[in-house]
Amino acid sequence: MKVFDSIGSVRSFLNDKRRQGSQIGLVPTMGSLHKGHFNLIKLAAKNNNIVVVSIFVNPTQFNKKEDLQNYPRDLDKDIKALENIGCQAVFVPSEREMYPSNRTLTFEVGYIGKIMEGKFRPGHFAGVALIVTKLFNVIAPNYAYFGQKDLQQLVLIKNLVRELNFDLEIVEVPTVREASGLAMSSRNQRLNGQEKNLAANIYKGLQILKNKIVSGIGLETSISETKEFYKNVEGFDLEYLEIVRKSDLLPISKFNSDIETALCVAGYVADVRLLDNLCINPKV
């Protein structure tokens, strides 16, 4: 496994591999790797000759300075964990390498930047769009792997690929969960055992909401009863709970079992912001 910190060196390594006929899979990360990432990497290794994992804590996607400062980082541990799981190249650029000081461009991501995560984290998705575009340009993968846990990010990146004509395919990978149901996230590292148990209620709430909806209870009632469940979870501070169409995240007013529906939630446990979603697949 090779570790690259410059755009030039990773490009020249990958150009050689491409000339030899290799197919390239990219798993973009911000490090603090966990089972969810390893799952993406293993899948990428199954379907590509070369797997590149990028590790870069992207400053432009943090709207709060303290969130960027508190983001867990352990590069040595991450690199060790990547040995022997099918990753051939790790791209670990510095901030200077990714962002020239005379930067002039920003992204306008449309309504995605104004709803759910976008509403509570202004500028976040513009930063994600910028860094993912850069990574796609640098690595030029055939396939790029993203988890369903960050569903809004996934929809944004699919829009990016379609609207900017990137010649690659996005592979969407289901969320990996702890036995308790808690979705794997680098942020979980900042929770103690008790807080993790408490955070498992986030998924419980989504399951309650799903059961209500599929049993025919109206969306408004389902939402307000689930909000009541969350209210009773002491130590959990709900930010939003929304029912949307999965393909574009637009709100729906009535459940239609022919259309894939996503139940999306975000909130705080202690001072750690967590998000999750549960998708209801169309009946076939």
Give me the active site residues, please.
37
185 binds ligand PAF (CB under 6 A): no
Residues 6+ away with beta carbon under 8 Å from 123: 60, 61, 63, 113
What six digits make up the tokens of 243? 């029912």
Segment interacting with ligand PAF, rule: CB under 6 A, options 128-136, 158-166, 170-178, 275-283: 128-136
CB of 188 to ligand PAF, least distance (A): 14
In the list 32, 58, 88, 201, the residue contacting ligand PAF (rule: CB under 6 A) is 58
In the list 30, 43, 198, 243, the residue contacting ligand PAF (rule: CB under 6 A) is 30
Residues 6+ away with beta carbon under 8 Å from 113: 122, 123, 124, 125, 126
In the list 152, 153, 201, 222, the residue contacting ligand PAF (rule: CB under 6 A) is 153
Half-sphere exposure of 58 (CA within 13 A, CB side): 21
128 binds ligand PAF (CB under 6 A): yes
Give SS3 for 143. strand
CB of 62 to ligand PAF, least distance (A): 10
Task: Give the integer Cα–Cα distance in Å for 59 and 71.
Answer: 10
CB of 141 to ligand PAF, least distance (A): 13
Task: Give the integer Cα–Cα distance in Å for 201 and 197.
Answer: 7
Q: Which is nearer to ligand PAF, 10 or 208 (CB)?
A: 10
What six digits make up the tokens of 194? 């008790």
CB of 31 to ligand PAF, least distance (A): 8
User: Where along the sequence are the contacts to ligand PAF (CB under 6 A)?
Assistant: 28-30, 58, 61, 128, 131-132, 150, 153
